[in-house]
Amino acid sequence: MDTKSTSLSRLFSARPVLRRTFFRVAGATAASSALVLAGCDKEDETPEVTPEQAFTLGTGDTGLLNYVYLLEQLEAAFYDKVVATPPADMPSTELAYFTDIRDHEVIHREFFKFALGTSAIGTAVFNFSSFTLTTRAGVLAAAQTLEDLGVAAYNGAGKLFTDPVYLGIAGKIASVEARHAALVRDLVQPNSFATADVVVNDGSALDGLDAAKTPAQVIAVVNTFLNITISAASLPA
Amino acid sequence: MNIFQIISEIEKVDPEVYDRLDSRRSIFKHMSGMGKTLAAAAVPMAFGAVLNKAYAQTSMAPGVNDVLNFALKLEYLEAAFYNQGLGAMGATATAVQTALRAGFSATNLAALEKIRNDETAHVAFLRTALGTNAIDAPAANTFDFTGGKGGTPGPFATVFTAPATFLAVAQALEDTGVRAYKGGAPYLASNKDVLTAALNIHSVEARHASRIRTMRRAGAMNNAASQTAAAGTDRSASPKSWVSGNDGGGPAPAQTAPVYAMGAAPAYTPAVITFPGEENVTQGGVNLQTALSSLNFPAAAFSEAFDEALPVPVVSDIARTFVITGSTFI
């Protein structure tokens, strides 16, 4: 018990520092209610990850909205970076597409910020060093990864929302992400818009269907672009 | 005959009569038009038709099987389109099919065959999911993709001879499919696995639609996905890979405008679900174009960022463009 209290007090004392790194100051109050440090909600379990670094996104529909908000933050940050400093070998026609897509992703991000209001998580800082953003090929490969991730994330999140309005919103955005994905894929490799790595084509009953990923699967990928660790444990599954 | 007295009488047994009638304002418009042209004696009959329609369609929200069977009908329609135009998977192409296929670059033809195969796979998936509840495939002559409804070839007379017409119809069908699955999704929520499967088909339809649009923008013989549509270009002729505004009514505005327009909500629709046109910029009650004006994004971006749903009756009307007169298939 002593160990537990020590551990908890350590967690809570660590929190303000972390909030400053991950959240805007204005969002600090909201952050304390929307975010719970992993391990605090279940007293008997030792957190699997270093407690100081684990954040959750909230529960229920609010948690899911923060989840897709985080995903849109990731996509918007990526395209913002590409449009601001495009690779030298990217033709202007393709940059025009990327500017369109950047606009869409920023609008998605800002929409969820509106929808979440005071429950919104703060602004995350992403690290894209695993991508090669100095070449057209590197940018296209990165965009393909993120767009396919987005499609699979919305497809997987749809059934988890309890409010039909949010299911509707997920659908409205999912198809736009899929349209992006198809174009980006065709820029990478002609006719890869629906190849077997995304749309099942193995002679099974699921032929012709896109992928769906759980929040845990998607967050695991998102975490690779973050200097902190987000936990999907509080989200519906 | 006092119509309003009749409505008042109906109201005694059905307090929702005004809602039922009001949700079909188009019918009332239709009726007021008739009042001017029809003899008074015909009015009671017309009024009866209005009531029949109002009550017949305001039954219950569709169940899971209803939604899946409706999706299956659309997939039959789409699969038949590609099969008739290009030849079915593994079949020897007819002379007409061979001629059409020659109008596409090898890369574009491969894309169309991939789309054809996916639509056939969707039919198979939905039939398996529905089991014995699956409706049968319609007779081959149920569809008329010229839009002539089985009579004189219609507005798409060259659908299977001119690549541009084929792609125009393909875009309309794929974009309709995307909106239809979105409209059906809320009624699948009781079965999570089925809902996810439907969403997984929905996004594939969007990938298809994007590919077809890319192809229309560049031309049937041009493989370049990077072919852009110049600013201010008519989006009906040279679309973006995503829906921009209402795309000027789509590839053939006289026929395809409803594919991109708003849809009247059936009476069973929960109040929180609406069917705005693709040009919509208000999401969750927030006009994003206004709220985010400081971003200085082009106006079109706010509609492009979100696709919109369509309800079953509107999708049915669109699909009937390609169904012969007298068929009750859709």
How much is the pLDDT for B273? 95
- Residue indicated by tokens 């520092």: A17
In this complex, do B206 and A182 lie within 8 Å of one another by their Cβ atoms?
Answer: yes
Handedness of CA B183, B186, B187, B189 (dihedral sign): positive
Which chain B residues have a beta carbon less than 8 Å from that of A107? 288, 292, 295, 297, 301-302, 305
Handedness of CA B82, B84, B88, B94 (dihedral sign): negative
In this complex, do A199 and B196 lie within 8 Å of one another by their Cβ atoms?
Answer: no
DSSP code of residue B140: G
Rounded Cα–Cα distance for residues B194 and B196 (Å) = 5
Alpha helices in B42-105, H assignment, sequence order: 43-57, 64-86, 95-101
How much is the pLDDT for A54? 73
Integer-rounded Cα Rg, in Å, for chain A is 19
How much is the pLDDT for B229? 65
Which chain B residues have a beta carbon less than 8 Å from that of A191? 107, 110-111, 114
- In contact, B204 and A196? CB cutoff 8 Å: no
Rounded Cα–Cα distance for residues B33 and B94 (Å) = 48
- In contact, A107 and A58? CB cutoff 8 Å: no
- In contact, B140 and B79? CB cutoff 8 Å: no
Around Cβ A47, how many Cβ atoms within 10 Å?
18
ipTM for this prediction: 0.83
Which chain B residues have a beta carbon less than 8 Å from that of A164? 186, 189, 270, 272-273
Extract the tokens encoding A118: 């005071």
Which of A61, A165, A209, A217 to mutate: most B Cβ within 10 Å? A209
Extract the tokens encoding A109: 């991000």
The mean pLDDT of chain B is: 86
Q: How many CB pairs under 8 A join A and B?
A: 213
Q: Give the SS3 label for residue B212.
A: helix
| Burial bucket for residue A52 (CB in 10 Å: 0-12, 13-18, 19+) | middle
Rounded Cα–Cα distance for residues A82 and B128 (Å) = 44
Cα within 13 Å of Cα(B325), Cβ side = 7
How much is the pLDDT for B231? 65
Query: Which residues does B307 contact at the CB level (< 8 Å), separation at least 6?
Result: A171, A172, A173, A175, A176, A179, B178, B179, B182, B206, B242, B243, B278
In this complex, do A208 and B125 lie within 8 Å of one another by their Cβ atoms?
Answer: yes
| Window 127-186 of A, Cβ < 8 Å to B | 151, 154-156, 158-159, 164-165, 167-169, 171-183, 186
How much is the pLDDT for B254? 96
How much is the pLDDT for B72? 98
Question: What pLDDT digit, counting tens, does each position of B167-201 carry?
Answer: 999 999 999 999 999 999 999 999 999 999 999 99
Handedness of CA B200, A209, A233, A21 (dihedral sign): negative
* A86 inside 8 A of chain B by CB: no
- Residue indicated by tokens 């693709």: B278
- In contact, B246 and B260? CB cutoff 8 Å: yes
Which residue ranges make up each domain of chain B?
3-56, 64-261+308-322
Residue numbers in chain B where pLDDT is lower than 70: 1-59, 228-232
Q: Decide yes or no: CATH 2.60.40 for domain B64-261+308-322.
A: no
Candidates B262, B233, B267, B229; CA nearest to B248 is: B233
Rounded Cα–Cα distance for residues B68 and B185 (Å) = 10
Rounded Cα–Cα distance for residues A108 and A172 (Å) = 10
Q: What's the 3-state SS for chain A?
A: CHHHHHHHHHHHHHHHHHHHHHCCHHHHHHHHHHCCECCCCCCCCCCCCCHHHEEECCCHHHHHHHHHHHHHHHHHHHHHHHHHCCCCCCCHHHHHHHHHHHHHHHHHHHHHHHHHHHHCCCCCCECCCCCCCCCHHHHHHHHHHHHHHHHHHHHHHHHHCCCHHHHHHHHHHHHHHHHHHHHHHHHHCCCCCCCCCCCCCCCCCCCCCCCCCCHHHHHHHHHCCECCEEECCCCCC
Residues in chain B: 330
Question: What pLDDT digit, counting tens, does each position of A29-81 carry?
Answer: 333 333 333 333 444 444 444 445 579 999 999 999 999 999 999 999 999 99
Question: What pLDDT digit, counting tens, does each position of A89-139 carry?
Answer: 999 999 999 999 999 999 999 999 999 999 999 999 999 999 999 999 999
How much is the pLDDT for B191? 97
Question: What pLDDT digit, counting tens, does each position of A126-162 carry?
Answer: 999 999 999 999 999 999 999 999 999 999 999 999 9
How much is the pLDDT for B64? 97
Rounded Cα–Cα distance for residues A149 and A220 (Å) = 11
Angle between helix A136-157 and B192-218 (nearest 10): 150
